[in-house]
Amino acid sequence: MGYKKMKNNLGFADFALANSLKHNRSLKLMDNLNSSLNWDRIQSVLMSHYTVSTNSEGADGLPASVAF
């Protein structure tokens, strides 16, 4: 089993709301949090407790950091 591919493509709504997002306090807080975290370290800790199945049935799983 693999991981789902996370798309980073912007849609029409993303483009239309881009101007209002500049002033969004929640988004600024999340950006600050994202830049201060060491995601590689978090991923390694999560993967030590996360079992990746080799079964080909069913949908692909989410990466551990996304599930976190």
Say if 47 falls within a structural domain. yes
pLDDT in tens, 17-31: 777 777 888 888 988
Say if 17 falls within a structural domain. yes
pLDDT in tens, 35-68: 999 988 988 888 888 777 777 777 777 777 777 7
User: Taking the model in full, what pTM does it have?
Assistant: 0.50
Say if 5 falls within a structural domain. no
Say if 26 falls within a structural domain. yes
Supply the range of the domain harboring residue 38: 12-67
Q: How many domains does the chain have?
A: 1
How far is residue 66's CA from residue 50's CA, in Å, rounded to a whole number? 12
* Collapsed DSSP state (helix, strand, coil) of residue 64: helix
pLDDT computed for residue 5 by the predictor: 66
Say if 6 falls within a structural domain. no
Radius of gyration of the chain (CA): 16
pLDDT of 2 strictly over 60: no
Strands of 1-68, DSSP E: none
